Structure 1
Amino acid sequence: MSAVLAPLRWFYHEFGVDSLHGAGRNAYLVITARSCRMFAYGTNALILALFFAELKFSDFRIGLFMSLTLLGDVFLGMWLTLIADKVGRRRVMFLGSFLMVMSGFVFAVFENFWILLLAAIVGVVSATGGDFGPFRAIEESILSELTSPTTRSDVFTWYVTTSTLGSSIGSEASGRIIHYLHDGPEGWSLKDAYHTIFWVYTAMGVVNALLVLLLTDACELKRKDDAGGYSQVATQDVIEDEYETNSDTGAAPPKDDHDLSRSLFGRLQSQLSSISAPTRRVMYKLWVLLALDSVADGMVPYSLTNYYVDNKFHPAKSTLGDVTSVAYFLGSISSIFAGPLARKIGLVSTMVFTHTPSSAAVLLFPAPSTFWMTAFLLFVRAGLNNMDQAPRSAFIAAVTKADERTAVMGITNMLRTLAAMLGPSVTGALAGNERFWVAFVVAGSCRLLYDFGLFIMFKNMPLHQHEDGATGQRSDAGGRGRDEEEMDGDEMDDLPSPSEFSSGRSTPSTR
């Protein structure tokens, strides 16, 4: 029996399942909610551009639609994430779920370009198959609160892995549903089959809302009390209490903290000023690199990639769905290894060494003249593309203070979305001029520049300087900590396991 259980124990500890188990019920709900949402986004990634083409929208209009949708995500996501810690993270996530349901309903019923565009801008629709919008920054901030430095990378790994698996299942389901409705006994038109997929999207929005309702107060921002400890408080109660205090003393309410009606850019400026100068210095460099990567991703999102493959090879929709599903599935499998790899070689090295082959696959994507060679490059791109996500989230959490994370992650996602919105319009214009392939060459080159810049700038960045119980020790973001390197094998064996850290049985020093 021990011989049978040994591999299971090894997997349980090596691949971070113990860290996920220690994170608790709220972490499970957050990860499940994102997986359901990415299932819906996966259905969109396969058919959105094809749906617009079936409605006789021009290539330029398709690209413009996606760019304007991402622009709407910028303002919506930025506004909701910047107020999330004040009005309540769960309330904001529930509002996002409602907007997702509303957008799905409009796409399931209407075909007018401007009505669809309005629904996409003010609602939540994934124009590219990626997780842009208000959810991700808040969820990452919640998971950062629920984890410790030793378990965070593992939990983020499963957060990415399960969501990518959701996208895989969504793409497969979308292709099969369309094939059955269009080519099966029903004989539906492609337009009607595409509309059906958006009813699935609407249903997933309802499921997302129900999961958000099950979250507890532990997901809200922890604030320091007078004794220097942390207390869990309802953020709306904090706002009301401080207004009452100012009313009693006759002082005006602090506009900079509580005036929720002020301009969006004023709030952004306030949030930037609330981030400490050392954090800003790190994030400014990272934001530039992430913007470059996002421009590339915006030029060749999976929705437009599927459109390119469909135009070039004309495969059956079920075959296209199968290929997209396998690509996402490979991404989910590879994501499992991001946590163990990050522990071995460091967060930044994991990000760079896994993302670089994916970038090269984007660069070479137009080269093959056969469908299956093109599919192979898509498998390489998608299979390795997500391995940098969990280490990146863990890296951002490791260089920021707890009360800065929601703002930092929200601004990060906002800037990435803002950069990504430039891409679809450029690609749409290129496609209209029979130069679609140029988008992949430019995007692959930009992604490689991001990879090299990341390694050069952040290889030796010290981490976890703001965590509770920090002892001043420093760790190398690109590899093992300096203190670990000085330990021999016996000393390393004496270190507590991540599950012991998360359960409180041992107090880790900051690495």
Structure 2
Amino acid sequence: MTPNPHRDLALINTAGFLRSFGVGLMGVVLGIYLFRLGLSSLEIGFVIAAGLAGSALATVIVSFAADRVGRRRFLVLLSLLSAVGGIALARSPSLPVLVLMAFVGMLNGTGTDRSAAFALDQAVVPGLVSDAKRTWSLAWYNVLLDGGGSLGALGAGLPILLQHQLAFSVLSSYRVVFFGYSALCLIVAVLYSVLSAAAEVTNPLAPAQTRARIAPENKRVVAKLTALFSLDAFGGGFLTDALVAYWFFRRFGVAEHDLGLVFFAVHILNACSHVGAAWLARRIGLVNTMVFTHLPSSLFLMAVPLAPSFKWAVVLFLCREALVEMDVPTRQSYVAALVKPSERTFASGITNLARNLFWAIGSGVGGVMMQILTFSAPLLVGGGVKVAYDLLLYRSFRSLKPPEEAGAATPTKDMAPTKRAS
């Protein structure tokens, strides 16, 4: 198929939006549906954990094999497997079968798209645009993901709508929604299937070289970035939407409806901040944008437990959310800039895998801290960990510039920045 980068970018953005819509929907209805099936909290945890484990394994496989087998093939396969998860939920098999199908279908109950396809998209998008447009393209990609996830969360009211409008039973209405989720995954697979050759690695390496995945001179940089991103994700695990909403509920007695409005505003600010990040990065650089927006966001967060009222706590929290996501497209762009195009799938997969694992660890530790220390401990400790991440990132990478900031010509397919991290 003739390379068509502009068309491919539109296809990936559309596929990402639809996939994120499904993830946002699942994040709200999955646990409730499993509870209605009669599963215990422990069994629900097993199903969700199986889905996350399947996603983690898929990310590992993508990191090492996608460029050799074909990025388009992997994206199609991942989408088809996701459809299996929806079918399994609709059919309501026994628990062992459901756990197995959740693993195979990579069911995502977190409400946030951090799938293997998400990691692979990040490797493909930078190769479809010039260095100057890389950050902007990733910013719009993330805007669409946030928008899709927000609309998917709103779509969680579909089962209730089906009950009232079409007189479906409770479980039947959920099953219709899950069949719809599977159909959505099939549409995403179709979109990925028509990607052109531009989505693949240009001039792929020989098989032996491909298995090595990354040039020795880039290994230290990727390893250091992975370690720093893991620290950031560990701090972020203390601050999941569910935990923060629970904190507001317990601290100020806020009703679920009001919290829903707060978190809707949060997602809107997150989406807008992606575009703001691309604009700012063009003026002050990727690393500066990552650090100088993320650092104050952490300080705002640490101030939230000190707020004397719900109003001031929300103001501080929204200030945090207006800044905290600015490092997402800039981080993705920076990783893509520091490695060769043929190494982007590996770098994206490994950094995303590490972030997901440490995010999960942080979530567990945050709950324990809230139980045995102080109720506000996750906000204070999570914010502190993120401050440490920002300072370490700036110290290590402030002098390592991507090609568009170094004033160099656009690199060839085998070039990467030559300056190394301190």
Task: Find the aligned partners of 2:335 and 2:305 in 1 and give their Cα distance.
Answer: 34
- Whether 1:356 and 2:295 are equivalent positions in the alignment is yes
Verify the 8 A CA contact 2:19 2:185 in the aligned structure 1.
Answer: yes
Are the structure 2 counterparts of residues 213 and 68 from structure 1 closer, same or farther at C-alpha, using a change threshold of 3 Å?
closer
Structure 2 partner of 1:168: 150
Q: Secondary structure at the match of 2:203?
A: strand
Residue 468 to residue 297, structure 1, CA distance change in 2 (3 Å): same
- Aligned residue pairs total 412
1: CA distance between counterparts of 2:381 and 2:295? Answer: 15
Cα gap change, 1:322 to 1:199, in 2 (>3 Å): farther
Map 1:34-433 → 2, pairs under 5 A: 34-48=16-30, 69-110=51-92, 114-174=96-156, 176-177=157-158, 180=161, 198-223=178-203, 256=208, 271=211, 273-306=212-245, 313=253, 315-316=255-256, 319-364=258-303, 375-427=314-366, 429=368
Does the CA contact (< 8 Å) of 1:355 and 1:385 recur in 2? yes
For residue 468 of structure 1, what is the aligned residue in structure 2?
412
1:448 aligns with 2:387: yes
Q: In 2, distance between residues paired with 1:188 and 1:429?
A: 41
Structure 2 unaligned spans of 5+:
none
C-alpha deviation, 1:277, in angstroms: 2.3
Kept after mapping to 2: 8 A contact 1:67/1:423: no
Is contact 1:60-1:425 (8 Å) kept?
Answer: no
Do 2:234 and 2:359's aligned partners in 1 also have CA atoms closer than 8 Å?
yes
Q: What fraction of aligned residue pairs are identical, expressed as a percent?
A: 29
Contact 1:42 1:129 in 2 (8 A): yes
Displacement, 1:153? 1.2
Q: CA deviation at 1:436?
A: 6.0
Contact 1:67/1:425 (CA < 8 Å) preserved in 2?
no
> 1:42 offset after TM fit, Å?
1.9
In structure 1, how many angstroms separate the alpha carbons of the residues matched to 2:183 and 2:309?
37
Give the secondary-structure state (helix, strand or coil) at the position aligned to 1:440. helix
**Equivalents in 2 of 1:325, 1:402: separation in Å?**
36
Alpha-carbon distance in 2 for matches of 1:160, 1:418: 21
The answer to whether the 8 A contact 1:59-1:429 is kept is no
Compute the displacement of 1:359 (Å).
Answer: 2.8
Q: State which of 4, 7, 10 in structure 2 corresponds to 1:28.
A: 10
Change (3 A) 1:449 1:180: farther
Q: Take 2:276 and 2:287, find their aligned partners in 1: how far apart are those partners?
A: 15
Distance 2:349 2:381 in 1: 27
CA drift of 1:383 comes to: 3.2
Query: For each residue in 1:303-358, what CA deviation from the matched residue of structure 2 results, as whole angstroms up to 9, or x when unmatched?
Result: 55456556774634x65544333321221112111111001010011111222233
Change (3 A) 1:471 1:446: closer
> Which one has the largest radius of gyration?
1
Corresponding residue SS for 1:24: helix
Maintained 8 Å contact 2:63/2:347: no
Tell me if the contact between 1:293 and 1:450 (Cα under 8 Å) persists in the aligned partners: yes
Residue-by-residue CA offset, 1:437-482 (whole Å, 9 max, x unaligned): 43333322222221221112111113237812999998999xxxxx
Q: Is the 1:363–1:441 contact (alpha carbons within 8 Å) kept by the matching residues of 2?
A: yes
State the TM-score, normalizing by the size of structure 2: 0.82
Contact 2:82 2:182 in 1 (8 A): yes
**Contact 2:80-2:185 within 8 A present in 1 as well:** yes
Name whichever of 91-100 and 298-307 sits farther off: 298-307
Distance 1:181 1:308 in 2: 33
| Alpha-carbon distance in structure 1 between the residues aligned to 2:161 and 2:274 | 31
C-alpha root-mean-square deviation of aligned residues, in Å?
3.8
Q: Secondary structure at 2:325's aligned position in 1?
A: helix
Task: Using the TM superposition, give the Cα deviation of residue 125 of structure 1 relative to its aligned residue in structure 2, in angstroms.
Answer: 2.4
Structure 1 distance, partners of 2:97, 2:243, is 21
Shift of 1:49: 5.1
For the Cα contact (< 8 Å) 2:236–2:359, is it kept in 1? Answer: yes
CA shift for structure 1 position 120: 3.2
Deviation per CA, 1:77-99: give whole Å up to 9, x if none. Answer: 11133211111111100111112
Does the 8 A contact of 1:172 with 1:325 survive in 2?
A: no
Which range is displaced more, 76-85 or 377-386?
Answer: 377-386
1:384 partner letter = L
Instruction: Go from structure 1 to structure 2 and tell me whether the alpha carbon gap of 1:65 and 1:366 turns closer, same or farther (over 3 Å shift).
Output: farther
